[in-house]
């Protein structure tokens, strides 16, 4: 594997940085660029952030790796990684699930009508999606989902509940998994649908998590969806969901926030003293920082493996699982050491004017727990690595 970037790729990064410098001079830049929001910083969940995404679209930054026949640029997937890294560095919205998991899945499996309806809107950043996968009894075991889609004249009737649906409170469309054949084995008989979030029969109840991330319960009561809004073939949705989750894992999880967080942690340790000695002069603190610095470089290598696989036309499922598992748990280890360094002061929230670093580390400690759950828990990532990467059999 060659982990070095080409002259063309480095020039692309410079163009993105110039664009972001322009954006940073806007009066609403403080709303658009919010790195301390942790995983929430990737969302286009306000009018200003959605407008930013439309400006990215105007610059040609959406659909970089899509085939030309679908409005994309046919470029290597590495350019989307480079773009997302720069966006994550400043806490701006990433290119999103529309360009990644949904757009790519529609290109591969969607009907001509769905492609005409959604692909142009995605490329112009005119539409936001929510992913309707998890349910109260189907989280990590997603194939246990129970939301029913029953055949009716001209389409399907949906009844059931979804849980922990990020973006449902502001999204335009719902990318929804439902059980269409309850007699089939649980990994069969699942189908994917697209439907408007504001359709009659859909009720959204926001839930605020401990990291101040807003997720949602969604109830569907006798919701009609026509045959035209079925994604791919009926009863084959599990295959499409697995592909989409692979795209989500290697689209959303970036490296640059780890690098920035390590730098901030070193600066924090250098500014603190204990018994008159700077913490960076203590052997125990130096060992802890050195270990975390090594882990950050390991994360860099894992992420480069994802980029290399994607740029060679592969869907890097195992590579993305390894990076997602390691990097999300590393975010927690970084925040944990920061709180150890700060002691009782570290428990002050960002709402307290005396909170060190404006409460960054206390917020990070709470918020990073979410990242080990979204797009598949750490346990799910270990299963992917064991089964797909190591060829190990299923337990039991």
What residues are annotated to the active site? 248
Q: Which one, of 160, 153, 199, 197, lies nearest residue 179 by Cα?
A: 160
Interatomic CA distance for residues 207 and 225, integer angstroms = 26
Count CA within 13 A, CB hemisphere, residue 230.
22
Interatomic CA distance for residues 361 and 355, integer angstroms = 9
Q: 199: which 2 tokens?
A: 């359709």
- For residues 63 and 121, is the Cβ–Cβ distance under 8 A? no
SS (H, E, C) the chain: CCCCCCHHHHHHHHHHHHHHHHHHCCCCHHHHCCHHHHHHHHCCCCHHHHHHHHHHHHCCCCCCCCCHHHCCCCCCCHHHHHHHHHHHHHCCCCCHHHHHHHHHHHHHHCCHHHHHHHHHHHHCCCCCEEEECCECCECCCHHHCCCEEEEECCEEEEEEEECCCCCCCCCCEEEEEEECCCCCCCCCCEEEEEEECCCCCEEEEEEECCCCCEEEEEEEEEEEEEHHHEECCCCEHHHHHHHHHHHHHHHHCCCHHHHHHHHHHHHHHHHCEECCEEHHHCHHHHHHHHHHHHHHHHHHHHHHHHHHHHHCCCCCHHHHHHHHHHHHHHHHHHHHHHHHHHHHHHHCCCCCCCCHHHHHHHHHHHHHHHHCCCCCCHHHHHHHHHHHHCCCCCCC
Q: 343: which 2 tokens?
A: 């002691």
Interatomic CA distance for residues 374 and 165, integer angstroms = 10
Sign of the CA dihedral with 3 first, then 7, 12, and 15 last: positive
């Amino acid at each position: 594997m060659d982990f070095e970037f080409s002259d063309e790729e480095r020039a692309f990064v410079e163009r993105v940085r110039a664009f972001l410098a322009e954006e940073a001079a806007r009066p609403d830049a403080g709303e658009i660029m919010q790195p301390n929001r942790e995983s929430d910083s990737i969302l286009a969940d306000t009018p200003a952030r959605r407008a930013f995404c439309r400006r990215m679209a105007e610059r040609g930054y959406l659909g970089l790796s899509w085939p030309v026949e679908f409005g994309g640029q046919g470029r290597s997937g590495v350019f989307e990684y480079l773009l997302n890294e720069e966006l994550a560095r400043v806490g701006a919205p990433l290119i999103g699930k529309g360009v990644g998991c949904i757009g790519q899945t529609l290109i591969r499996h969607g009907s001509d009508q769905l492609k005409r309806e959604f692909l142009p809107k995605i490329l112009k950043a005119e539409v936001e999606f929510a992913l309707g996968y998890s349910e109260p009894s189907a989280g990590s075991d997603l194939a246990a989902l129970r939301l029913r889609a029953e055949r009716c004249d001209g389409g399907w009737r949906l009844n059931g509940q979804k849980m922990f649906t990020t973006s449902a409170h502001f999204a335009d469309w719902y990318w929804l998994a439902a059980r269409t054949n309850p007699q089939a084995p649980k990994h069969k008989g699942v189908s994917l649908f697209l439907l408007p979030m504001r359709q009659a029969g859909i009720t959204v109840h926001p839930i605020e998590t401990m990291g101040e991330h807003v997720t949602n319960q969604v109830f569907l009561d006798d919701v009609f969806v026509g045959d035209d809004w079925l994604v791919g073939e009926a009863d084959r949705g599990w295959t499409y969901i697995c592909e989409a989750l692979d795209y989500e894992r290697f689209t959303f999880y970036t490296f640059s926030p780890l690098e920035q967080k390590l730098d901030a942690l070193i600066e924090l340790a250098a500014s603190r003293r204990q018994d008159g000695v700077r913490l960076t002069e203590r052997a125990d603190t130096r060992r802890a920082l050195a270990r975390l610095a090594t882990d950050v470089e390991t994360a860099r290598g894992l992420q480069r493996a994802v980029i290399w696989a994607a740029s060679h036309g592969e869907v890097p499922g195992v590579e993305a699982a390894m990076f997602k598992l390691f990097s999300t748990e590393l975010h927690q280890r970084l925040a944990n050491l920061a709180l150890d360094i700060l002691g009782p002061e570290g428990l002050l929230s960002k709402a307290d004017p005396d909170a060190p670093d404006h409460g960054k580390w206390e917020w990070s400690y709470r918020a990073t727990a979410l990242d080990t759950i979204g797009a598949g828990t750490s346990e799910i990532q270990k299963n992917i690595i064991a089964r797909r990467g190591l060829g190990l059999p299923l337990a039991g």
